Structure 1
């Protein structure tokens, strides 16, 4: 029992491994802003420890699932194809805004806004994690977060990297897509807390 408890402690410790780094810029432009246009870039990320392109991961995972039961690969892919718009993006926006609201700040992140500044959330790397009941590994999401001028997106005002944001929930979560979604939620939570500390101190 002690060995099991220690193993679970080690696994849970991974949850706190996220690292956010300020690459360039400052937070001054955010002080008077109430809304930030937000865009999500899923166009060029890699997956797994081997840094596989998304397309390669999808084909291999579909094939593995079909070996277990024919047709399961396509069933999974239907969930994967909509996860970005239906799980990952909403999770980021929802949790980021909740943190700001709880801190009584008006700054709000939404898509398709006509605002002076835009946050570009670029996905760099994803590890989906796994859940085998008593043992599990959280998902991990690495992103590049760029605040740019909406009218001139080559003008980067603030750039932050978020490395290996953990995605997990209490209890069991056997769905890769929702585990990854929790990684985006953690990214947004950490970003909002950083903004509260640096821009609204």
Structure 2
């Protein structure tokens, strides 16, 4: 049992180390003096699993699998999945970004629907691995995004682009919900981006 616990801990630690955030273009100068940043989430380019399934393929396969095990469970899961973006993933990202800024006493907020903000952060979600949790053994979720800061009035003008690869999603203890684990990956992405902004812009 002790060996299993150590292996599980190593799996989590290894996943945490795997996150990579890199500036692809632009810089952080535009951040200075901004109090509000609009945020938009894009899922049109999303692929899932190691097979790079489209979201439609993944949802169909997963709901069919669950329905075959227990009739109706796949349909219930499908509704949970569809609601996860608005109810878990997007809020987790925003919550951690704003929490990091507040703790550092920065008067800046990241919110959806701020059409009057000069700049918009487009969170393009390009890959998700849901992970798994079976008693003492677990594999964290992973979330990969392209984070683009653009002018709200001219979104073709990208002032900063950051890639975030394999942001790990996990919690202490057991977490048997794929959607919740993925949400922790979004939280980690938001937290890491906020820390990068604090380091590079202030």
Q: Which residues of 2 match residues 39-118 of structure 1 at below 5 A?
A: 39-113=40-114, 114-118=116-120
Q: Tell me the residue number matched to 2:194.
A: 192
Residue 148 of structure 1 and its aligned partner are, at CA, apart by 0.2
Q: Tell me the residue number matched to 1:4.
A: 4
Tell me the SS of whatever aligns to 2:183: helix
Ranges in structure 2 where 5+ consecutive residues have no aligned partner: none
Cα displacement string for residues 59-107 of structure 1 (whole angstroms, at most 9, x for unaligned residues)? 0001110111111110000100110001001001111000000011111
Aligned residues: 200
Ranges in structure 1 where 5+ consecutive residues have no aligned partner: none
What is the alpha-carbon distance in structure 2 between the residues aligned to residue 5 and residue 88 of structure 1? 28
Tell me the SS of whatever aligns to 1:136: strand
Cα displacement string for residues 27-73 of structure 1 (whole angstroms, at most 9, x for unaligned residues)? 00101101100000012200001111110000000111011111111
Residue 150 of structure 2 corresponds to residue 151 of structure 1: no
Q: Tell me the residue number matched to 2:162.
A: 160
Tell me the SS of whatever aligns to 1:112: coil
Residue 2 of structure 1 and its aligned partner are, at CA, apart by 5.0
Residue 15 of structure 1 and its aligned partner are, at CA, apart by 2.0
RMSD, matched Cα: 0.9
Per mean C-alpha deviation after superposition, the further-off stretch among 2-11 and 180-189 is 2-11
What is the alpha-carbon distance in structure 2 between the residues aligned to residue 161 and residue 195 of structure 1? 14
What is the alpha-carbon distance in structure 2 between the residues aligned to residue 192 and residue 11 of structure 1? 26
Q: Tell me the residue number matched to 1:136.
A: 138
What is the alpha-carbon distance in structure 1 between the residues aligned to residue 130 and residue 183 of structure 2? 10
Q: Tell me the residue number matched to 2:26.
A: 25
Per mean C-alpha deviation after superposition, the further-off stretch among 2-11 and 95-104 is 2-11
